[in-house]
Structure 1
Amino acid sequence: MSASPAGKLTLVGVGPGDPELLTVAAVRAIEAAAAVAYPVARLEAEGMAARIASPWIRSEQRRLPLLFPMVAEAEPRQQAWHAAAEALVAELSQGQAVVLLCEGDSSLYASCSYVLLALAERVPAAALRVIPGITAVSAAAAAASSQGIPWPLALQQEPLWIRPTPETPLELAALLEQAAVAGAVLALLKLGHRWSWVQPLLAERGLLDHTLFAQRVGWPDQQLASAVLVSAAEQPYFSLLLIRQGWPAVLP
């Protein structure tokens, strides 16, 4: 365990894609930082979080790309998280104000959360702040409503379940049944290639008309549509579904 460093680290959720969706707190934290850290899948890559926040990053600020490999194996990912934590501790030991950019929200399925846990092992008393960001789920619902597809995420006593898309049709079928019983709105993230079998499963259950498909929310090439209009072809990783299997009894 290291001594508490003199610097301060701020984890900043930068939202799903649109730079204008950063909060005032996020922009102020970025502006105040001497160094801006961000995850990359390859060291030569720009990184999506850095690209989102780029309008707010000044040329004189040091950039610190942190390698988070997109692999299924646990060991390379764990090594990367600990290496990122060590790099941040080194920055903080120099008394620097550092921000770590996180795509979406800084606590929801965020790679940066693993760095947060690794840092807690090393320097539990470090000066730390976490700034939340707008999730792709919230942004997708808002964008759909703005485009004439009214899509309140949850009303009255409705639960909202946010899940990664299950790996098999059997798992998804069970989740849909559970959500129907609970009256829950279901948000499925990381859809990607699974859409090729998710689409016919939803069609079989008559749910395509009640499902919103969203792709690359917040980016210039954002796509939003009723799932009934989307072919069963494989979709990019950053796609999601909002599935509503019913409505509350009391509505306007």
Structure 2
Amino acid sequence: MGVGPGDPELLTVAAVRAIATATLVAYPVARPDAEGMAARIAAPWIRPHQRRLPLVFPMVSEAEPRRLAWHAAAAALAAAVAAGEAVVLLCEGDASLYASASYALLALAERHPACPVRVIPGITAVAAAAAAASGQGLPWPLALQQDALLIRPTPEAPDELEALLQRARREATVLALLKLGHRWSWVRPLLEAAGLLEAALFAQRVGWPDQLLAPAAAVPAEEQPYFSLLLIRQGWPQVLP
């Protein structure tokens, strides 16, 4: 289930209720000794008597270690459910959007189809960033009227981003670019050259105490944390207040 991007107050009522009735709380970690961001977000709602199950999802590029981790996680979850545990699997953001939990769900469906599953959606960093910006005097509706909205990882190369920006301009598409990180060092000057820097919104670690929301022009062209995103609007509908 999704626990939102960072603020414990952004868990849904359904998520809080599911945690309250769980006997086992599972959550992804990058390595065995790590705490896990999803567990940190949900920490105020987890009680001491509830057992915890960290599931290692290694942050590596090789396919086989990741595939083995997904299958191991699915096996552990299915075994716990079969033993009578009430299990919740926490997931940062939404469980269906670029989520580690999605792979565990696919592995469950493939290898343990009899295991009952309920997916509880969560607030995405994109939606939370737009809402928080609007509350800080930077009104940022994600989509209006006939706007399209494209959520995707930031392209790997400048020519890919240029082509994406051109297509988005033609098709009246608002862009939400995730996993900005180190790419910001070349994305910023590209947006500046295209005249898009002032209107773009930069968001970093949305929902956490060190959250940053700012016009992209205010953020220097240097490497940024992995959990950074960019909202780019190149035009507005004709009918506005």
Fold shared, TM-score > 0.5 on shorter chain: yes
CA distance in 1, matches of 2:83, 2:225: 40
After superposition, what is the alpha-carbon deviation per residue over 1:54-109, rounded to whole angstroms, capped at 9, x for unaligned?
A: 00000000000000111111111111111111111111110111000000001001
| TM score, norm. by length of structure 2 | 0.99
Choose the corresponding residue for 2:30, options 36, 41, 53. Answer: 41
Q: Could you tell me which runs of 5 or more consecutive residues in structure 2 were left unpaired when the two chains were aligned.
A: none
Find the counterpart in structure 1 of residue 149 from structure 2. Answer: 160
Cα distance in 1 between the residues matched to 2:171 and 2:19: 41
The answer as to 2:113 corresponding to 1:124 is: yes
Counterpart of 2:186 in 1: which secondary structure?
Answer: helix
SS at structure 2 position matched to 1:129? coil
Runs of at least 5 residues in structure 1 that lack an aligned partner in the other structure: 1-11
Residue 12 (structure 2) pairs with residue 23 (structure 1): yes
Aligned residues of 2:178 and 2:230 also touching (Cα < 8 A):
yes
- Which residue, out of 192, 199, 224, partners 2:213? 224
Within a 5 Å distance, the mapping from 1:116-195 to structure 2 comes to: 116-195=105-184
Residue 99 (structure 1) aligned to one of 88, 93, 112: 88
| Structure 1 CA distance for aligned equivalents of residues 190 and 64 of structure 2 | 34
In structure 1, the partner of 2:186 is 197
User: What is the aligned partner in structure 2 of residue 9 from structure 1?
Assistant: none
8 Å CA contact 2:25–2:88 kept in 1: the answer is yes
Deviations 1:112-153 (A, max 9, x none): 000000000122232110000000000000000000101111
2:66 pairs with 1:77: yes
Task: Tell me how far apart the structure 1 counterparts of residues 164 and 114 of structure 2 sit (CA, whole Å).
Answer: 40
* Residues 206-221 of structure 1 mapped to structure 2, 5 A cutoff: 206-221=195-210
Is residue 78–residue 115 contact of structure 2 (8 Å, CA) maintained in 1? no
Question: Are positions 1:238 and 2:227 aligned together?
Answer: yes
Partner Cα distance (1:181, 1:125) in 2: 47
Q: Distance in 2 between matches of 1:24 and 1:161?
A: 28
SS class of match (1:197): helix
The count of residues paired between Structure 1 and Structure 2 equals 241
SS for the counterpart of 1:15 is: coil
With a CA cutoff of 8 Å and minimum separation of 6, indicate the structure with the bigger relative contact order.
1
In 2, the alpha carbon distance for the partners of 1:176 and 1:76 equals 35
| Contact 2:28/2:55 (<8 A) preserved | yes
Q: Could you say what secondary structure the match of 1:81 adopts?
A: helix
C-alpha distance in 1 between matches for 2:180 and 2:82: 40
Instruction: Name the amino acid aligned to 1:18.
Output: D
1:150 aligned partner, one-letter code: P
